[in-house]
Amino acid sequence: MKVAFFDTKNYDITSFEPYGKDNGITFKFYETKLNEDTADLARGCLAVCAFVNDTINAAVIDRLCELGVKLLAMRCAGYNNVDINYAKGKLDIVRVPAYSPYAVAEHAMALLLTSIRRVHKAYIRTRDFNFSLNGLTGFDLHGKTVGVVGTGKIGRVFIDICRGFGMQVIAYDKFPAENSGIDYVDIDELFRRSDVISFHCPLTEETYHMISSETIGTLKKGVVIINTSRGALIDAEALLEGIKARHIGAACLDVYEEEGDVFFEDFSGHIIADDVLARLISMPNVIVTSHQAFLTEEALGNIAETTVNNIIAYSKGEKSGNELVI
């Protein structure tokens, strides 16, 4: 069984290759992303393995089908980059719905603590033997209200972490978790009351630009915004304006609306063409990490194992339970 593996990083090879060899799967690893120009690399493969910034639109789906590809194995939970409706009847699709909710939730809290306690600034100072405390004053999380948008597995783990810090938790979800003990409110109330807002929901037409120029005015002044979910939940330009206006107190971003051509790559020797991203990174109250919330040894192992099991189940004519389109 041959599988074309796109947008490959070193850690992908390390985690996937052993599972592949043990199960008779040969992964053809490509550094390039999957798109209309690179789809032909999947020639002779039963399946394609793709990630969050690959492009799987109608044209790519048609070309994969022409090449004889039968299965698209997404090695992630999100699939907003896949034209699901067009794929029906043409290409079977599976995903990894959960790999380590702890990895993402813990990273969200790490970003929050780093931001409000100025850990990143202190680290830079002390490496220059500057031990001044000027400008490093933070605030307690205890007693603050955190609004959690999305209460799936990751959101609920984040809620547990916040409760451990003594925070008051309110949440919004279109489909509330029954018997969870979570205090659900509507999104307007969550925006109005929260000192901290953390996003843990999928990107859909309804959640697109939940933070926008219209909604920023309803947020509590000085709110800290955390996004470890999908970049387009937040209008990046509106976020920048809200920070410049001193209405948003801080932003902790592991994802970015236009991250596709930037994240996961090294641009340290280049000029970034995205002015909004460059401005956000330059802000003293903004922390950006490059979509690394999932990146733990446990999560990578779970992603590889689940993806391989999805492919094996498909090849046997069985269902893995992780089907999007079948």
Amino acid symbol at 246: R
Whether 118 sits among the annotated catalytic residues: the reply is no
Whether 270 sits among the annotated catalytic residues: the reply is no
Tell me the C-alpha distance between 82 and 33, whole Å: 13
Whether 120 sits among the annotated catalytic residues: the reply is no
Among 18, 95, 86, residue whose Cα is nearest residue 50? 95
DSSP assignment of 107-137 = HHHHHHHHHHTTHHHHHHHHHTT----TT--
Q: Assign 3-class secondary structure to 173-223.
A: CCCCCCCCCCCECCHHHHHHHCCEEEECCCCCCCCCCCECHHHHCCCCCCE
Q: What letter does residue 27 receive in the DSSP assignment?
A: E
Q: Which of 75, 95, 107, 230 is catalytic?
A: 230
Tell me the C-alpha distance between 137 and 150, whole Å: 30
195, two tokens: 């000192």
Residue 214 neighbours by CB distance under 10 Å = 10
Q: Which of 120, 259, 297, 298 is catalytic?
A: 259
Q: Which of 63, 95, 200, 291 is catalytic?
A: 291
Which residues are designated catalytic? 230, 259, 291
